Structure 1
Amino acid sequence: LSFSPVSARRIEDDHQGSRRYAIGLEDGTSLDVTVLDRDRQVAGLPYRLWRRIRLNSETRRRAIRSLRAELEREALMAYAAQAAGASTPRLLGTSEIGTEAALLAYEHLDTRPLDEVPDEEIDDDLLAQIWEQVGLLQIQRLAHRRLTGDGIHLDKAGRIVLTDPRSGEIAAGDLLLRLDVAQLLTYLALRVGPERSVRAAAAVMGPDALAAAIPLLQRIALTRETRSALAKAKHVLPEIREQIVALRPQNRVEEVRLERFRPRTLITIIAGAVAAYIVMSQLSQVDLYRVVTTANWAWSGVALVASFVSFVAAALMLRGFVPEHLPLWRTVLVQFASSFVKLVAPAAVGGVAINTRYLQKRGIRPASAVASVGASQLIMLVFHIALLLLFAYITGSSTATSFTPSRGLVLALLALALLVVVVLGVPPLRRLVTARMHKLFSNVLPRLLDVLQSPRKMVEACVGTLMITIAFVVCLYACVCAFGGDISFTAVAVVYLTANAIGSAAPTPGGLGAVELALAAGLTVAGVPRELATSAVLLHRLLTFWLPVLPGWASFTYLQRNDAL
């Protein structure tokens, strides 16, 4: 390049790790030079690859580019931004340095990043300037992709300057332009509050542009720095949505799914594969032909009826915790639909989500719907613990010799008790657990008080809750009897209640694998032969987990077509 440098000073690297220099020239002017290194291109590569796999094709950036492609991309975006009339540092020249590096020389502007500007200095005029600059880019279909405090600068005259063109896109689609609006709305809301951020954006961009950005107000769509800031200000995104909806209450925008999958889904798939391996290893120990031919079909029929009764009981329980009227058989269909959802969701998640959605579709406010389902889960937990203690006491007093807990079980219970003591004794852990429980059950108590005011609802809730557990215990007991097992009903109840608690904590769909192992181990400890226990458990899971999937799918489809889910 035809410059005459007299000095060079290394300054802070940019967000992608590229070296930057302040160059002094003979005529007294300065340049800002960015050096692209081939070895620096791999910095942050695992993160970029993860984002590329996780996000859909339109929103993700290429994880790896050649040095030449990176140079051309930044130069093209810089020239396009200048042509659009946006206030950006002027690109004066580019050059390759051998095969291992390239540089871009920009005019030096004496600016400071918006991150260094105090919040109280960000007035409405400054907000309007920011949005005007972004508007100029959007008119020419240019997406900046990094509208954060280090990509927006303020010069000494109080004018906004947009920097960091390398992350941008030319000829951007609607989705990328809307992502820019969502990102800038969120960043400014973190600085000046959602109300001022939305008001300033609406004055320049118009309410329709903001309404189009509502579906993209998702943490996954934002920059890493903004996501970190939102972790400490979780109220910001909901408040931005509320402010925009207040401007355009009638506007309906289709939901946008940016993620191909969530990390939780990946964990569920891996856990499901492990669970499938466990179940298959159990099946290899069983002669399926012998299981089918030797099972007592009368007891199998009792188990099937008990499995069906559990769905009716779940519907009664949900009706009991909802003061509003719910039709019984449609609510039963919802419980069958939840059995279909359990194929792809952990046991403790699928049913809660389906029931909450159902109540919202019935016209119940989201907060009340969540409170009703939370109340049912809380009372279910109380009943579960009470029944476990009751049956354990009865079993211990009547058949102590046949169901004596092993040393491993005693040690496990002691370890659990120690964990509870540690959680309650360490203030940070106690505050974390308390906060999570408060968030989960914040509206549960008022909902329970509403139920207590109606004796009929209270009886329905209690009967339904009790029936669910009894039905599943009867089903397991009948499965054991179907193969000639000899065990007391109370011992079966203890085994089921313990295994169900383990299955609820497992991340696999429907507790797959964990429930089978816990049930088989519990029955074996209770005195049932191992092969017989495995056969009984597999029959029990067939009737309560696998068999309801087909009617569950039919119920799910029917309810969706009738706008009930």
Structure 2
Amino acid sequence: MTQTQGETATSDMGAGVGVPVEEPARPDRIRRPSDAIRFAAAVVGLAGIMLLVSFAQQTTHGLQTDIAEGTAHAPRFLLTLATLVSSFGVLAVPVAFAIERLFHKDGVRVAIALLAAVIAFILTILLDDLVVPAAPGGVLDSLIWGGTDTAPLHTDITPVIAFVTAVGMAGRTRWQAVTWTMIALAALTGLTAATASVAALAATYCLGSAIGHGTLYAVGTPNPRPPGTAVLAALGRLGLRPVRGRQLPGGADEPRRYTVATAPSPGGAPADATGRALPPGDWQLQVTVLDRDQQTAGLLYRVWRLVRLRGGSTRRALRSLRRSLEQESLMAYAMESAGVRTPRLVGACEVGTEAALLAYEHVPGRPLDAVREAEITDELLDDVWRQLRRLQAARLAHRRLEGDAILVGDDGRVRIVAPGTGEIAAGDLALRIDLAQLLTTVALRVGPERAVRTAAGVLGAATLAGAVPLLQRVALSRATRAAVRQDRELLTRIREQILQLTPETEAAPVRLERFRPRTLLSIVALTAAAYIVVPQLSSVNLTTLIADAEWWWAAVALAAAAVTYLAAALMLMGFVPERLPLGRTVLVQLAASFVKLVAPAAVTGVALNTRYLQRSGVRPGPAVASVGASQLMGMVAHIVLLIVFGFLTGSIRNATKDLAPSRTVVIVLLGLAVLAGIALTVPKARRFVAARLRGMFSGVVPRLVDVVQSPRKIVTGLGGTLLLTAGFVVCLDACVRAFGGSLPWTAVALVFLTGNALGSAAPTPGGLGAVEGALTLALTISGLTADTATSAVLLFRLLTFWLPVLPGWAAFAYLQRKEAI
């Protein structure tokens, strides 16, 4: 039954009969987050299969061969019988189930499942005829292993899987068993008859499942959530006598909440099941409803936080309805037992099979977010901090101390609500994160100075000092992070206020992330690079190339690569007015070759050089400015050289005609300039670039002025910059000549400068993947054969990236032992 606002509905569930409930109209169909998650999982599975058959062809072929050999010994009569049964049953069983559902007037569900089957059939035909044949040969060969009669995707099974997925057989175990048995028999007979492969069957299952769940999410499923009348009726099982209810407004992903008025118990005043009197007033209860379909809402975000963040939490990203009910009940009872002021939990119970409820005392009031700033007195804030102190004394972590979790009652007292995300027996890190979260929440309302002052008066300065390392955006809740983005300096100002109370506090932030999003981006980039580079390697006869190589050119390349570390040291020393020892500075550059395995090269160089300068006695500000000055001059020199060699390469008559001429270089540069100009017209992008440049080079100009006063420093810095580029160009040219290739030196210089620019921009460690791809492509365009270009690039990267790793590790360990970095 659907109720509109203010409409009265009835139920036949005991105490709920005739109870009026004010609630919005219930939608007939809803989109379940679980369907979207299963759709995404099926798509990821399909992509994983395509990737697997691309790189593990021998494994998939070996598995197929083992299955074929194993089934060859099976009795022919049984295989024939299985073929006949599956050929008939794989279609007959779903049709029979559809007819059974039609007799039960469930035609909408059947129609949706039929739509999914039609979509699956059409999409499978398109993929078989158009998309899969155009895929790389390894993918197609693995999917159709067994002969030309093998189908990449199976038009007879995919629609059935989509139909079964969309129609929903949950709770009908017999139908499920028979249907999936028929599908399994059809797959087995396809394998034995060499008309199906393991990879093709796995791809077929993922595709059918994706279409089924995708159709369900797009169209929606019948709303299983119990109406408000059923919720109020369930209160009767707790000994309560509801007389009317009203649903409170809330977000789509939040649990439903109702306020409920109850009738007096036989003894007189309204009471709960234990006989304890309920507070007087129009509304005595607030009921939170946990719907089963909502348990997966926000699952991907919770999984991401659980995997990404360190914290030692025992929380699960996915909880059943029963576990969610038990967790919130336990947390509510624990808070009340600890003396935390919170609405008393009257009782909890299930509402049918699709929901559960928790009934709390109704406390009239407003969340802290809705309280006017003039009403937020110091006494009110003191009360907030006292409730937190009680939580922490009992080792209870609330984990979502946002403004709506702090209820300011009409009596002026503070209560902590929404305990559903809480945790008992919490560790120190979780408690400190709670403190950091509440500090930020209060500071968003009353400012950092007042938030810290009132917190210190209740909790003490030493306790607040423990929150300083955790005042990071990543530690905060999603809503709070969004609010902090509007005031980017808020967390910094909170730290400053605490450090004024405890100047000796270590302000270095605690590392809360197991990995950063950049790490995932690096993994994706490395995977794409491997997908590009591996096929190139498979087409190169490395044995022949190595046998015919002129290895004395490789020795020249090695010497040139070694010179680059001396050049990098001179480049740094030239932009630091203070005196630096040459030998130790060279070791720092060598150590950077080890560190860059875990981060982009530009990032590691800046961080390690800055650390080295600070350890050498240079103050942090000038150290950052010096490294920024060397980076800035290196970037300017790189751009100038790129333009100069691009012009020379396009102008010299004897240069290769295949390399991009100067006209193309100019077009590319103009195009990049236009794109940059358009981007900078966007205020947000302009502010972002300005802030980054200001942060990187705010002290560069004064530092350059100091350097200019010493001609020796200028010569050292600029000489190191040019020597660095020359060393890499000679190294690449020697690698090309080692394998019998030859290019004009201007072309080699242009190729290196282009590849190095892409490598610096790539988020992978040391530009891995991007540099190889760019250099190989540029050398091929310049006139080298693919074999020679690939071999030359591999040798170049071996000498400049991989070979220095072990010496770099030794240098890094030595410098750490000497406390030089």
Supply the distance in 1 between the matched residues of 2:506 and 2:782 (Cα, whole angstroms).
59
For residue 292 of structure 1, report the CA deviation from its aligned partner.
Answer: 2.9
For residue 413 of structure 1, report the CA deviation from its aligned partner.
Answer: 4.9
For residue 228 of structure 1, report the CA deviation from its aligned partner.
Answer: 1.0
Name the TM-score, length of structure 1 as normaliser.
0.94
5 Å-filtered alignment, 1:283-294, equals 283-294=537-548
5 Å-filtered alignment, 1:154-173, equals 154-173=408-427
Given the alignment, which residue of 696, 699, 703 partners 1:443? 699
For residue 383 of structure 1, report the CA deviation from its aligned partner.
Answer: 0.4
Give the aligned residue type for 1:18: P
1:13 aligns with 2:250: yes
Give the aligned residue type for 1:24: A
For residue 470 of structure 1, report the CA deviation from its aligned partner.
Answer: 0.9
Asked if 1 retains the 8 angstrom alpha-carbon contact of 2:650 and 2:660, the reply is no
Supply the distance in 1 between the matched residues of 2:681 and 2:404 (Cα, whole angstroms).
43
Partner of 2:259: 22
Check 1:463–1:253 CA distance in 2 against 1; reply closer, same or farther (3 A cut): closer
Asked if 2 retains the 8 angstrom alpha-carbon contact of 1:395 and 1:403, the reply is no
Partner of 1:129: 383
Given the alignment, which residue of 64, 72, 78 partners 2:318? 64
Given the alignment, which residue of 209, 224, 233 partners 2:487? 233
For residue 13 of structure 1, report the CA deviation from its aligned partner.
Answer: 3.2
Give the aligned residue type for 1:25: T
RMSD value, Cα:
2.3
Asked if 2 retains the 8 angstrom alpha-carbon contact of 1:298 and 1:482, the reply is yes
Larger radius of gyration: 2
For residue 131 of structure 1, report the CA deviation from its aligned partner.
Answer: 0.7
Q: SS of the residue aligned with 2:340?
A: coil
Q: SS of the residue aligned with 2:285?
A: strand
Asked if 1 retains the 8 angstrom alpha-carbon contact of 2:311 and 2:430, the reply is no
Supply the distance in 2 between the matched residues of 1:366 and 1:6 (Cα, whole angstroms).
69
1:148 aligns with 2:402: yes
Given the alignment, which residue of 619, 624, 647 partners 1:393? 647
Supply the distance in 2 between the matched residues of 1:553 and 1:293 (Cα, whole angstroms).
31
1:497 aligns with 2:753: yes
Partner of 2:472: 218
Partner of 2:106: none
Check 1:409–1:349 CA distance in 2 against 1; reply closer, same or farther (3 A cut): farther
1:174 aligns with 2:428: yes
Given the alignment, which residue of 595, 607, 610 partners 1:353? 607
5 Å-filtered alignment, 1:362-373, equals 362-373=616-627
Partner of 2:717: 461
**Mean CA deviation greater in 10-19 or 529-538:** 10-19
1:416 aligns with 2:672: yes
Partner of 1:113: 367
Give the aligned residue type for 2:557: A
Partner of 1:304: 558
Q: SS of the residue aligned with 2:349?
A: strand
Deviations 1:335-373 (A, max 9, x none): 112111222212332222222232233343333332222
For residue 64 of structure 1, report the CA deviation from its aligned partner.
Answer: 1.7
Asked if 2 retains the 8 angstrom alpha-carbon contact of 1:272 and 1:509, the reply is no
Deviations 1:222-271 (A, max 9, x none): 11111111222221222222332332233458964322211111111221
**Mean CA deviation greater in 171-180 or 414-423:** 414-423
**Mean CA deviation greater in 429-438 or 161-170:** 429-438
Give the aligned residue type for 1:366: P
Asked if 2 retains the 8 angstrom alpha-carbon contact of 1:41 and 1:64, the reply is yes
Q: SS of the residue aligned with 1:463?
A: helix
Partner of 1:50: 304
Deviations 1:490-515 (A, max 9, x none): 22111111111122112222112221
**Mean CA deviation greater in 86-95 or 284-293:** 284-293
5 Å-filtered alignment, 1:196-275, equals 196-252=450-506, 256-275=510-529
Partner of 2:768: 512
Given the alignment, which residue of 533, 558, 564 partners 2:814? 558
Give the aligned residue type for 1:231: R
1:339 aligns with 2:593: yes
Supply the distance in 2 between the matched residues of 1:336 and 1:364 (Cα, whole angstroms).
21
Give the aligned residue type for 1:510: G
5 Å-filtered alignment, 1:520-559, equals 520-559=776-815
Supply the distance in 2 between the matched residues of 1:363 and 1:120 (Cα, whole angstroms).
50
Give the aligned residue type for 2:778: G
Supply the distance in 2 between the matched residues of 1:45 and 1:113 (Cα, whole angstroms).
26
Check 1:194–1:478 CA distance in 2 against 1; reply closer, same or farther (3 A cut): same
For residue 481 of structure 1, report the CA deviation from its aligned partner.
Answer: 2.1
Supply the distance in 2 between the matched residues of 1:564 and 1:49 (Cα, whole angstroms).
40
Q: SS of the residue aligned with 2:260?
A: strand
Give the aligned residue type for 1:30: Q
Supply the distance in 2 between the matched residues of 1:406 and 1:456 (Cα, whole angstroms).
39
Q: Which runs of 5+ in 2 are unaligned?
A: 1-237, 265-281
Check 1:139–1:503 CA distance in 2 against 1; reply closer, same or farther (3 A cut): same
Given the alignment, which residue of 573, 582, 585 partners 1:319? 573
Partner of 2:738: 482
Q: SS of the residue aligned with 1:510?
A: helix
Asked if 1 retains the 8 angstrom alpha-carbon contact of 2:345 and 2:358, the reply is yes
Asked if 1 retains the 8 angstrom alpha-carbon contact of 2:659 and 2:783, the reply is no
Check 1:324–1:301 CA distance in 2 against 1; reply closer, same or farther (3 A cut): same
For residue 553 of structure 1, report the CA deviation from its aligned partner.
Answer: 1.3
Give the aligned residue type for 2:477: T
5 Å-filtered alignment, 1:35-46, equals 35-46=289-300
Q: SS of the residue aligned with 1:485?
A: coil
Supply the distance in 1 between the matched residues of 2:496 and 2:451 (Cα, whole angstroms).
12
1:75 aligns with 2:75: no
Aligned pair count reads: 565
Asked if 2 retains the 8 angstrom alpha-carbon contact of 1:403 and 1:525, the reply is no
Supply the distance in 1 between the matched residues of 2:451 and 2:313 (Cα, whole angstroms).
24
Give the aligned residue type for 2:629: A
Asked if 2 retains the 8 angstrom alpha-carbon contact of 1:334 and 1:355, the reply is yes
Q: SS of the residue aligned with 2:773?
A: helix
Name the TM-score, length of structure 2 as normaliser.
0.65
For residue 169 of structure 1, report the CA deviation from its aligned partner.
Answer: 1.5
Q: SS of the residue aligned with 1:269?
A: helix
For residue 542 of structure 1, report the CA deviation from its aligned partner.
Answer: 1.0
For residue 65 of structure 1, report the CA deviation from its aligned partner.
Answer: 1.7
Supply the distance in 2 between the matched residues of 1:122 and 1:367 (Cα, whole angstroms).
40
Supply the distance in 1 between the matched residues of 2:629 and 2:508 (Cα, whole angstroms).
32
Supply the distance in 2 between the matched residues of 1:324 and 1:200 (Cα, whole angstroms).
46
For residue 60 of structure 1, report the CA deviation from its aligned partner.
Answer: 6.4
Asked if 2 retains the 8 angstrom alpha-carbon contact of 1:144 and 1:165, the reply is yes
Give the aligned residue type for 1:445: V
Supply the distance in 1 between the matched residues of 2:457 and 2:567 (Cα, whole angstroms).
55
Asked if 2 retains the 8 angstrom alpha-carbon contact of 1:59 and 1:258, the reply is no
Asked if 1 retains the 8 angstrom alpha-carbon contact of 2:364 and 2:409, the reply is yes
Check 1:367–1:191 CA distance in 2 against 1; reply closer, same or farther (3 A cut): farther
1:85 aligns with 2:322: no
Q: Which runs of 5+ in 1 are unaligned?
A: none
Supply the distance in 2 between the matched residues of 1:15 and 1:215 (Cα, whole angstroms).
34
Partner of 1:31: 285
Give the aligned residue type for 2:696: L
Identity of aligned residues (%): 59
Deviations 1:80-105 (A, max 9, x none): 21122221111122222222221111
Check 1:206–1:431 CA distance in 2 against 1; reply closer, same or farther (3 A cut): closer
